[in-house]
Each structure stands twice: as C-alpha cells, then as structure tokens.
C-alpha cells in the first residue's frame, strides 16, 4: 500500500510559540485520522522539532483526508532520493555471467568494487555491487536477457577506477596508481587554492547530510552527530573534498580543512545499495543541522546536500526555507541526468545548485572520468575546462565546480568478508559526479565567509543566508559556458 508523509509547515515560524502552535495543529488533525492509516511516528529529537507522521492508505483515502486538513499541514506521497554518484540497481537473476579481474601495481587488487551497467525501461540500471576476492577476481551473474553496456572497477583506494565500454564474458583491468603529488591538484588551483592551510574555513560550520562519514584518519575532526559511519563511500569522499587534513604522500587536502564539519546519515543499507530514509526524516535532519540555541542544534552556516529526486517535495522545501530563515544556506548537487533537468532539492530556488566541471587531459586512459568528457563543443569552456557530460542542466543552475576525476577520502573499513580491514592506512579514490561539485562549492564559500567578520557577526536569520549567497555569486567567474551549464560561473578564492 502506498506510503505518505504528513507534517506541519515551519517556514516563517521561529519563536517557541509559533513552533508549538504549528505542532498543535498537527496533533489536532491526528485525532481525526483512523489509527489503521498510521504506519509510523518517528520520535523528534526535541520538543521544538518538526514532527512527521508516516501514513499508509489508498490514494482516494488520502485525497479525502487532504480536503479535511488545515492549510498549515502538508501531506504528500513518500518521495525517494538517490545519491548523485550511483543509479538505481536491479534485482539479479543468475543465468549469464561476466568474470572481472582487477590488478594494480603488478598485483591483484582485492576488495575492488565492480559495477555492471545495463539499460532497462529507458533508464540506466546496475547489477548488485560485487567485490573482488584476494585473487583480484569477481564474477557477476545476471539474467541472460540483460546486455551489459559497460563495467566499472573501483579499487579499494590508491588506484584509478577504470571503465570498460564493451564488456565480454571476461574483463581485465590494470589500474594505474593515483598520483603521489600532494596535497593539491587541478581542482584546488581551479578554485584559487594554491597552498595548503589547515586554518582555511576556520569559524564556519558545515553540515553534511548523506551516507555517514569515515572512519578515516584524515577526517577525525568531523563530528558524527548521530555516531554513524559511512555505509558506502559517498559522504566520506564528499567530506574529504570539504575538509580533509592530509599528512603524507598521495593524500589530498580539503578546500576548507579549518571548517567545523557535522555529519548526519539519512541513508541506510538496502539489499542492493544505500536507501534514503523518507523525506520527512531528511527534512527533520536538515532543520536539526540549521537549528541554533536549542537542544541538539548545530547552527550550520552551510549544509551540503549531494543527493536528489526528480520529484519535488514541498515538505523538504519547507525545511530548506526554514533553514534559510535560520541563517543556513543549503548547497545541492544538480544531479547526474546527462543533460536532463535538475533534481530536487537543487532545483528549488532556495538552494545553490552546482553542476560538475572537468579538465581536459586529467586522468589516465580508460578512467571513469574520461567517459564523461562531452561530445558537444558548446560544453567546452576556457582554461581547458568542460561541463562533465553526466551533469543535469537548466535555468536553476547557480554555479559550476570541479566534479570529474576528483580524488578524495574513502572509508578505511572492511569491504567484504575475508578481506583485512585497513589495508591502506588512509585510503583515497577518484570519483565523478555532481555529488562532488557541490562540496567543492561549499568549501570555497566556507573559505570566503571565514575571512568576513561582517558575515560572522550577523544574526542567525535570512540576512545571513542572503549574504552567503551574494558572496558566492560575487566570487563566481564565467568560464565561457551557457548559463544553464554554469550559472554565474566557477567560484574561487581570491589570491592574496
């Protein structure tokens, strides 16, 4: 039976009396809802938090309920959000198979992630994730009706991920080592970072909402607000882009390593990969990051949202608007719809929507980033930059930032039974997607705001958020692309 999320509006309500009144409206309405329709009532983290009710009912029952609800309540179907670095996966039926061998540095690479992509129903899908064994091999089985389009091998740190566009029954990858130059690369220079400064971004508070973070020794300063580490590798990579503090060769710096970073996990493990909590929980989490001066609040100046959905949630938009009024600006990845429209929440006008930038001649032949070099001439701009082909585009785009072939932190953890944990002390990996462009822009904005005492002195209200937006716009420069590709352009930190 379909599930629906019921909650109360909070945008425009910030005093204790206003917040309590909005919850009272929901409590009164709840008395009129048949108990059989109530599926779940997640406990809010404080008395002033948003309350959500999960309902199960037929559409006609919800339509009838809507007509009786006060205008201060919101009810909508459950909306699924996905990471902007991995498409939906399909069930596996064991009939045909592809054997994959992964080597690097002259030896087999255990615990490498293997993903086979195929087309079904007009969309790109993947088989369930597989991992190589100690011999560097993995075998993926699938229904014989499936025709693999391509396969990707992602080593467990230290080596480039590679791409094979014409997989056969046997695929071999020989992965080159990641570059050992440290701690800066082309994406740092692109956004104006020319030397490592561990204090850059100091005094700015950033919320990162996604799959959890770590463990990783270069992200020990990141605060896990819920104590939850990464169930995938997505947000660890995102966090490293913002705030990694490198110590040795082959380790890359975050853009704003001095910022205070707070992680919250809104994805859980599903049978075929990460699954997002309902969007009511995402709204609650966003507001908790923004809340200040109240129990369990984190007073984030910026929140990074590297996930999205093609469906617009008014509940999530209400939460983003409320956060903005509390002085918190949300920065969101545009989506990986290969030239299609932006996902939400990036498409909401209250957020900063970021597309992904790539650089010509970066990465070895066969690396995944090479796959996203565009074919159209109008997607190439100045300074050997281009709009990465996976990026969503549209009039809602605010800026563009590096997001193709980006090397950052991944968790130091056991990937598969039988593989020793921590084989690489501080693992890094290359990834692609607008998921990585969003934290890049977030880090640049944190670095800019940290040098502005006038911003930090502002009260926590919409004036603070508007100033943050204006600062990002002011420091964004066109790289010669259409506005629907780059918005105002590439944000960067002025050189001294």
7 near 280, Cβ under 8 Å? Answer: yes
Distances (CA, A) of 152 to 76, 83, 161, 280: 37, 17, 7, 34
Cis check for the bond before 188: say yes or no (omega within 30 of 0): no
The reported pLDDT for the residue numbered 145 is 84
**How far, in Å, CA of 162 to CA of 169, rounded?**
17
**How far, in Å, CA of 442 to CA of 218, rounded?**
19
**How far, in Å, CA of 128 to CA of 125, rounded?**
10
9 near 61, Cβ under 8 Å? Answer: no
**How far, in Å, CA of 420 to CA of 443, rounded?**
33
301 near 446, Cβ under 8 Å? Answer: yes
The reported pLDDT for the residue numbered 294 is 56
Q: Classify domain 186-491 at the CATH topology level.
A: Rossmann fold (3.40.50)
Cis check for the bond before 88: say yes or no (omega within 30 of 0): no
**How far, in Å, CA of 427 to CA of 422, rounded?**
8
Answer whether 3-78 and 186-491 agree in fold: no
356 near 433, Cβ under 8 Å? Answer: yes
The structure tokens 């010669």 sit at: 480
**How far, in Å, CA of 386 to CA of 447, rounded?**
24
Q: Is 466 left (phi over 0), alpha (psi -120 to 50) or beta?
A: alpha
**How far, in Å, CA of 43 to CA of 71, rounded?**
23
Contacts of residue 490, defined as CB under 8 A and 6 or more positions apart, other chains included, come to 190, 191, 357, 385, 399, 400, 401, 476, 477, 478, 479
Q: Classify domain 83-175 at the CATH topology level.
A: Immunoglobulin-like (2.60.40)
- Determine the distance from the C-alpha atom of residue 311 to the mean position of all C-alpha atoms in its chain, rounded to a whole number: 17
Distances (CA, A) of 150 to 215, 306, 369: 31, 24, 14
**How far, in Å, CA of 241 to CA of 437, rounded?**
9
The structure tokens 């002390």 sit at: 425
Q: Measure the CA angle with vertex 408, ends 402 and 411; round to 5°.
A: 145
132 near 419, Cβ under 8 Å? Answer: no
The reported pLDDT for the residue numbered 91 is 40
Structure tokens at 4: 């629906």
Q: What secondary structure letter does DSSP report for 218? A: G
Kindly report the pTM of this predicted structure. Answer: 0.94
The reported pLDDT for the residue numbered 417 is 41
Q: End-to-end distance of the chain based on CA atoms, in angstroms?
A: 60
Q: Three-class SS of residue 67?
A: helix
Q: Where are the domains of the chain?
A: 3-78, 83-175, 186-491
Q: Does domain 3-78 have CATH number 3.30.1380?
A: no
pLDDT tens for the chain, 496 residues long, are: 899 999 999 999 999 999 999 999 999 999 989 999 999 998 888 888 999 999 999 999 999 999 999 999 999 999 999 998 744 344 444 468 899 999 999 999 999 999 998 887 777 788 888 999 999 999 998 888 888 989 999 999 999 999 998 888 899 999 999 998 889 999 999 999 999 999 999 999 999 999 999 999 999 999 999 999 999 999 999 999 999 999 988 899 999 999 999 999 999 998 878 999 999 999 999 999 999 865 668 999 999 999 999 999 999 999 999 999 999 999 999 999 999 999 999 999 999 999 999 999 999 999 999 999 999 999 999 999 999 999 999 999 999 999 999 999 999 865 534 444 446 789 999 999 999 999 999 999 999 999 999 999 999 999 999 999 999 999 999 999 999 999 999 999 998 6
């Amino acid at each position: 039976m379909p599930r629906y999320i019921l909650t109360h509006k909070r945008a425009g309500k910030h005093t204790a009396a206003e917040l309590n009144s909005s919850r009272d409206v929901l409590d009164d309405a709840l008395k009129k809802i048949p108990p059989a329709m109530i599926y779940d009532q997640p406990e809010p983290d404080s008395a002033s938090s948003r309350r959500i009710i999960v309902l199960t009912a037929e559409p006609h029952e919800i339509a009838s309920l809507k007509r009786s609800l006060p205008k201060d309540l919101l009810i909508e179907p459950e909306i699924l959000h996905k990471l902007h670095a991995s498409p939906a996966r399909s069930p596996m039926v064991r009939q045909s198979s592809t054997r994959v061998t992964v080597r690097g540095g002259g030896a087999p690479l255990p615990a490498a992630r293997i993903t086979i992509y195929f087309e079904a129903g007009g969309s790109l899908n993947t088989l369930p994730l597989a991992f190589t064994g100690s011999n560097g091999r993995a075998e993926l089985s699938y229904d014989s009706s499936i025709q693999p389009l391509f396969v990707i091998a992602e080593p467990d740190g230290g080596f480039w991920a590679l791409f094979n566009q014409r997989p056969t029954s046997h695929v071999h990858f020989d992965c080159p080592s990641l570059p050992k130059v440290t701690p800066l690369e082309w994406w740092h220079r692109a956004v104006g970072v020319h030397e490592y400064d561990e204090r850059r971004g100091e005094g700015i508070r950033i919320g990162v909402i996604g799959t959890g973070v770590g463990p990783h020794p270069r992200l020990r300063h990141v605060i896990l607000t819920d104590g939850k580490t990464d169930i995938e590798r997505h947000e660890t990579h995102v966090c490293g882009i913002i705030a990694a503090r490198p110590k040795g060769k082959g380790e890359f710096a975050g853009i704003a390593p001095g910022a205070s970073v707070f992680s919250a996990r809104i994805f859980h493990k599903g049978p075929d990969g990460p699954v997002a909590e309902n969007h009511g929980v995402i709204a609650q989490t966003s507001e908790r990051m923004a809340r200040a001066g109240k129990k369990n609040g984190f007073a984030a100046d910026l929140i990074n949202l590297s996930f999205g959905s093609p469906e617009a949630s008014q509940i999530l938009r209400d939460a983003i608007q409320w956060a903005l009024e509390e002085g918190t600006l949300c920065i969101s990845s545009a989506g990986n719809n290969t030239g299609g429209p932006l996902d939400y929440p990036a498409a909401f006008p209250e957020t900063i929507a970021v597309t992904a930038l790539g650089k010509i001649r970066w990465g070895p032949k066969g690396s995944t980033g090479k796959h996203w070099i565009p074919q159209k001439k109008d997607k190439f701009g100045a300074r050997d930059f281009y709009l990465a082909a996976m990026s969503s585009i549209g009039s809602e785009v605010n800026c563009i930032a590096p997001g193709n072939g980006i090397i950052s932190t991944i968790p130091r953890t056991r990937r598969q039974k039988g593989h020793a944990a921590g084989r690489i002390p501080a693992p890094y990996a290359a990834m692609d997607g607008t998921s990585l462009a969003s934290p890049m822009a977030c880090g640049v904005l944190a670095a800019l705001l940290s040098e502005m005492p006038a911003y930090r002195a502002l009260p926590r209200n919409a004036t603070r958020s508007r100033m943050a937006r204006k600062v990002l716009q002011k420091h964004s420069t066109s790289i010669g692309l259409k506005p629907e590709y780059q918005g105002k352009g590439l944000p960067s930190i002025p050189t001294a």
